[in-house]
Amino acid sequence: MTVPGPGGGPGGPGGTGAAAPGPAGVPPGGLAGPGPAGAGPAGGPQPPAPFVATPNAERYLLEADSLRRRQLRSAMLHGSSRTWRDRRRIWPAVIAGIILSAIIAAAIAITGTFQQQQRLRDQERRERQEQQEQFEQERRQQQQQLQEQQQQSPEPAPEESPQTPDRQG
C-alpha cells in the first residue's frame, strides 16, 4: 500500500498515477530489501517462471478425464457406492439367500401337502373299513334271520296255490 505524498498519489489531486517514492532505500511497493521471487534486480516485477514442460502432459490429462468419466458413470449406474466391484460381493449372497428361502418354502409346502394326502388316505381307509364292517354286520344279521326263520317253521312253504280251470266262453 502506498501513502500519497505531498504531490499527490495515484488517484490523488496530482493525478499523475505514479507512486510517490518512499523512504530512502525502500522501493515503491513498500518492501525493504530483496523482495519475493517476483522482484527483479531493477526493483520491478518480473514475470513468473514459465511452466516446466511435462512430458506426455496431454496423455495425463486425457487419462484423468477418462478416469473421472468412468467414476461418474459408475456412480450413476450403481448408486452411491464407489464402484461396481463393491456391489458384486453383495449380489451372490443376495441370490443365495433368495434361492435358500425358495427351497425352504418349497420344502414346507411339500411336507404340508404330503401330510394332508396321508390324512386323506387314512380317512378313506377308515371309511372303507367301516363300510366293510357295516356290510359284514348286515350280512350276519340277514343270515341269522334266515336261520331263525328256518328253525321256527320246519315245514316247507307252499310253492303255489291250486289253479282254477280256465273258463272258456
Tell me, yes or no, whether 158 lies in a domain. Answer: no
Burial class (CB in 10 A: 0-12, 13-18, 19+), 112: exposed
Structural domain count, the chain: 1
Tell me, yes or no, whether 65 lies in a domain. Answer: yes
Q: What percent of the chain has pLDDT over 90?
A: 36
Confidence band of 41 (pLDDT split at 50, 70, 90): low
pLDDT at 133 over 50: yes
pLDDT of 44 reads 64
Tell me, yes or no, whether 54 lies in a domain. Answer: no
pLDDT of 52 reads 66
C-alpha–C-alpha distance, residues 95 and 106, integer Å: 16
Could you tell me the three cell numbers for 82? 464407489
pLDDT at 108 over 50: yes
pLDDT of 165 reads 58
Q: Tell me which of 15 and 50 has the higher pLDDT.
A: 50
Tell me, yes or no, whether 55 lies in a domain. Answer: no
Tell me, yes or no, whether 41 lies in a domain. Answer: no
| pTM more than 0.75 | no
Q: What angle do CA 128, 129, 130 make, to 5 degrees?
A: 90
Tell me, yes or no, whether 120 lies in a domain. Answer: yes
Tell me, yes or no, whether 129 lies in a domain. Answer: yes
Query: What is the domain extent for residue 126?
Result: 60-147
pLDDT at 11 over 50: no
pLDDT at 121 over 90: yes
Average pLDDT over residues 111-135: 96
Tell me, yes or no, whether 162 lies in a domain. Answer: no
Q: Do 4 and 20 touch, CB atoms closer than 8 A?
A: yes
